[in-house]
Structure 1
């Protein structure tokens, strides 16, 4: 089963990047998931199955930000 992630989500993976960061931004969603490290800016691509195994939690959802900005503008 696939975890639903969207562009702009900030996710935490189980193991740290060599720079020490656990948090990544989702920049591509499809069969592969593109991620950018929040500390050093390194870009990686993970196969969807590998991403699902390594995912620990979604720290910040981009969909929540869009909803809150729409509510604030009304």
Structure 2
């Protein structure tokens, strides 16, 4: 899956704050994503993130 810095993604499960939209802040083997509801940052592996993504809402242009 082609994920870039700044992309906004919607995940299948909600964050404890109730939001399910995240911004990608760091890419690589591990991703750092930021919840758009409460600004909490979470580290997650690439495999787990790719399983949890429902769709890419906003694509950051190159």
TM range (shorter): over 0.9
Task: Please give the residue correspondences for 1:1-74 in structure 2 after superposition, counting only pairs within 5 Å.
Answer: 3-63=1-61
Aligned length: 62
Relative to total residues, which structure has the larger helix share, 1 or 2? 1
RMSD: 0.9
- Could you tell me which runs of 5 or more consecutive residues in structure 2 were left unpaired when the two chains were aligned: none
- Determine which structure has greater relative contact order: mean sequence separation of CA pairs < 8 Å that are 6+ residues apart, divided by chain length: 2
Partner SS state of residue 57, structure 1: strand
Partner SS state of residue 62, structure 1: coil
Post-superposition offset of 1:41? 0.2
Partner SS state of residue 6, structure 2: coil
- Could you tell me which runs of 5 or more consecutive residues in structure 1 were left unpaired when the two chains were aligned: 67-74
- Bigger Rg over Cα: 1
